[in-house]
Amino acid sequence: MLRPQKDAPPDAGPDLPAGPADHATLVWHWSYAGDGFSARGLLTTTALADADGFYRITGITGERNGEAIIALEPAGMAIPGNEPFAVDNLIRADGTQLTGNGFGYELEDGTFANPFFADFLTPATYLEFFSTPPFVPGISAGDTELPAHFAAVVLHQDHRGGHGHAPHREDADHGHGAAMQSSGGFVASDWFV
């Protein structure tokens, strides 16, 4: 099951348009990898994009280097150890898919990750900030900020409302294989990175 966003602060970023599809959600497959790390899974987003084509991420499931993702960091908050760089939890289907804030998530072992698009670099590229305890601002021992290849694709729209639905972890083969076949024809070997 997709994990909903942790309690968000009152001002969690720009409002997305409201309308008849308020309760519909999109389910996405996402993945990224870099030197010594990879992450992948499913996201749910709002079904309506903002004026720039971005959808608000509302749930996440997956893994990073075999460690289960347990929570989505709230929009408007930074992952621990990466203050003051707040995530916005926005994604789009075309072009540069993440913003300079990206999305953040917590792993079962107590570490956190924040993939984002570093448009301030030449050439611009995706990066992942990975933080480990003890959490102090900036990069400390165990933390990394490394280039990554990021890709995401919409699998389907869910009209049931709420935070959408993704296959349960045991049904999803931990986000690999069988669930991808039933959710859009993907198999583990088709993952983007």
**DSSP string for 124-141:** -EEEEEEE-SS--SS--T
How far apart CA 29 and CA 175 sit, in angstroms, is 9
Are the CB atoms for 186 and 62 separated by under 8 Å? no
> Is pLDDT at 164 greater than 50 in this prediction?
no
Q: Tell me, what's the pLDDT at 138? A: 73
Look at the chain and report how many structural domains it folds into: 1
Q: What is the pTM of this model?
A: 0.75
Q: What is the mean pLDDT of residues 8-21?
A: 42
In this prediction, residue 140 has a pLDDT band, given cuts at 50, 70 and 90, of confident
Q: Tell me, what's the pLDDT at 97? A: 98
Residue 133: φ, ψ to 5°? -65, 150
Taking the C-alpha atoms of 19, 117, 28 and 52 in order, what is their torsion angle to the nearest 10 degrees? 20
The residue among 162 and 169 whose pLDDT is bigger is 162
Q: Tell me, what's the pLDDT at 146? A: 97
| Structural domain for 69, as ranges | 3-190
pLDDT digits 0-9 by tens, 51-70 = 999 999 999 999 999 999 99
Are the CB atoms for 70 and 3 separated by under 8 Å? yes
The residue among 191 and 36 whose pLDDT is bigger is 36
Mean pLDDT of the chain: 79
Residues in a beta bridge with 96: none
pLDDT digits 0-9 by tens, 145-155 = 999 999 999 99
Q: What is the mean pLDDT of residues 75-89?
A: 97
The residue among 189 and 125 whose pLDDT is bigger is 125
Residue type, 102: G
pLDDT digits 0-9 by tens, 153-162 = 999 987 665 4
Residue 190: φ, ψ to 5°? -90, 0
Kindly tell me the sign of the dihedral angle through the C-alpha atoms of 55, 57, 60, 63: positive
> Is pLDDT at 76 greater than 50 in this prediction?
yes
Q: Which residue has the tokens 């305890």?
A: 133
> Is pLDDT at 89 greater than 80 in this prediction?
yes
How far apart CA 79 and CA 58 sit, in angstroms, is 16
